[in-house]
Amino acid sequence: MDTYRSIAFHQCQLDLRARELRRDGQLLAIEPKVFDLIALLVSRPREAITKDELFRVLWPDRLVSDGALARVVMLARQAIGNASLIKTVHRVGYRFTGQLDELPVEARLPAGAARRISLLPVDNLSGDAQLAWTELGLPALILQGLEQPGALNSVGLADLLPAIGGLPAQTPPAEKARIACRLLGLAGCVQVSLRRQGHTLWLDYRTHGDGLPALSGSVCGGDPVELALQMARQLRQALLPTEPAASSQVLQDPFLQQAMARARQLTALHQFRPAAKLLDMVVEFEPDHLPARLALLQALADLGDPQAVPLGEQLAAQAAARDDRRLQAQALAASGHAQLLAEAPGALAQARRKLAQALEIAHPYREEDWAMRLQTATGRAALLEGDLVEARRLMLDMEIRAQATAHHFQLALALDHRAWIEWECGEWIKAHALMDRSIRIFLEHRLQGMAALTQMNQALSCVELGLLERGRLQAQQATQLLEHVQQPHALASLAEAAAQVFGALGQPALLDDLLTRIAAAPQGQAALEKTGGLIARGLQAQLQGRAASGRALLMQALALGQQSVIRRANRLRRLMEFELAVQDPDAMLTAQDLTRQCLQQHEHTGLRVLLLRTEASQALTQRDANAAQALLQQAGQLGGPSRQQAMARFDAAWLACAQGQPARAQTALQGLGPWLDEHPLGRRLTAALQGAEALALPCRLPSLG
């Protein structure tokens, strides 16, 4: 990523691309870790960053003392010339307290960096319903004509629509442009309208934004696609008068031009299947038209269609033979994206390799949106392979750079992915805090669909931390935004998180209602056939007493996750929770064997706790309370606070009470915090220890009801 904004504060300017710090215009010689510390602190002003996080960022592969961190902090304070700007937060970490100086758009990027521009959806004033496709179809064609790598980079509808999709219909175009520029860090936006005068169509345009000259103009004719190409040429001449026109292939057949534009519209609406059908037709007539082949490849990749993999490899090889490095990177990225969504053997490792190669090739093109998306996908692939150190490094780097370029949308995505990483590490509190930040960004910019999924995941983190009432409220807020979630993968992920939340809260009716609403959504049936949908339906079947049906769905989901250690561990967790609740001895033995095999390859604290709880359940069934208690105590001491750990400690405390060991029970309950107040079992155990109730020795884990 070569296109970053400098961050200015207190007579200092931090250049993230060149990794340089200047104070009063003078370049300072500082150590790399000092630079990294300053960059992290100023990217999150007024936020207390923990020592643990600083240790992970600055020394990801080794353990160092507090003194090493204190030394780097001291050097950072000396470098910026004002020690008070880096404040020590007692027993927590450090916080940057200074004020960041907003720079004009031109100063946000290093010299020679490309300006970033986008187009608002076309306002169809022609009165012709048959031209409705121009709303989203024409901007894609115009942006393609404006593209000049290294000088002018276009931000497509996939990024723009989430930024403005939540705005009221009557919002003025200038306000839409202002919000889009702020959220996406754009130099400017172009407003376009289509009108008819007699038998002639007119395409009018006007620029908005501090980073673009004030331009306006019109083109007229009979074919909207040709008008879009004319307009792109006019704008390009005005914005890049000294740049030679970029070579690009133009379809000569008007019918194919319109088909291509309509496919772009469908892609922007996440209707990838009909878009792929149109693009397949275009490629059939024009097999050498590379933009159409790339668009088809990307549509198939978004569908997770296996056909995208060989098509991407073929296009990448042809691009390499022609020395078209940019096209090569785009083809590798699409092919890698398809394999990231797939569950085929070896797909994940191949996806990571292709995405890393595409990211390396993409750097010289200075297209930060593209590079950021590649870095996100590469980090996700690392996470799914269980490489949490590399995933954390990539996402933290992404967060710093998104903050530096004022790209709030990518910043929120980076925070979401960092939360996912902390989640996998069992760091629920850290994950919760990161999701808090991303939700604020999503809601501030009316990105309700993104906010809905993150809020449901945060509701799950509340449940894991014992904040049951807050989790219920968060889940309720997320379900109210369901209509804004459109992509099948997002709907499936939301359904999976909701099933865990409502199951833990004992609210199966709310889960039934949510899954019914998802099934009725335009992409709902496709979502419920994806892995998250299978898991949600499996847990729903368990709550409805349909054990065989639920187990079949969860086993189907597990079979799809064998290539990723993270996916396999998480799906085994769902299966183990299911079997613990259902108490089928033979099925539990099968699930335990699968879990032990997984733990031999990848240690997962949550899965280990569940394995110990199932073994304790078996011991209780055999009337061996001492063995059960030993297993539960071991489970209760693993990892940080979590729902399964709390249940293990509740069960251990109950057994201790039943055996006349109140001191042992009190020890088991120490540190459970909100669980004691908000969970019925916590309140009952508290009452028992106060002498209000005598607890009998159970034959099954008390937490199972």
* DSSP string over 143-184: HHHH-BTTTEEE--HHHHHHHHTTS-TT--HHHHHHHHHHHH
Can you give the pLDDT at residue 516? 96
Helices within 166-322 (DSSP H only): 173-184, 224-239, 254-268, 272-285, 290-303, 308-321
CA gyration radius, the chain: 28
Tokens 């280990």 identify what position? 608
User: Which residues contact residue 209 at a Cβ distance below 8 angstroms, ignoring those fewer than 6 apart?
Assistant: 105, 177, 178, 181, 186, 187, 188, 189
Can you give the pLDDT at residue 164? 81
Residues 113, 110: Cα–Cα separation, whole Å: 6
- Please state, as a whole number, how many other Cβ atoms lie within 10 Å of the Cβ of residue 693: 12
**Report field, pTM of the whole predicted structure over 0.75:** no
Can you give the pLDDT at residue 246? 55
Angle in degrees, 0-180, between the axes of helices 272-285 and 290-303, rounded to the nearest 10: 150
Can you give the pLDDT at residue 310? 92
Can you give the pLDDT at residue 343? 64
Can you give the pLDDT at residue 244? 62
Sign of the alpha-carbon dihedral angle for 334, 340, 345, 349: positive
Can you give the pLDDT at residue 285? 92
Positions in the chain short of pLDDT 70:
1-6, 17, 60-61, 101-114, 148-151, 166, 242-249, 343-345, 363-369, 404-405, 561-562
DSSP H or E segment with residue 104: none
Q: Residues 108, 405: contact at Cβ < 8 Å?
A: yes
User: Tell me, what amino acid is at 600?
Assistant: Q
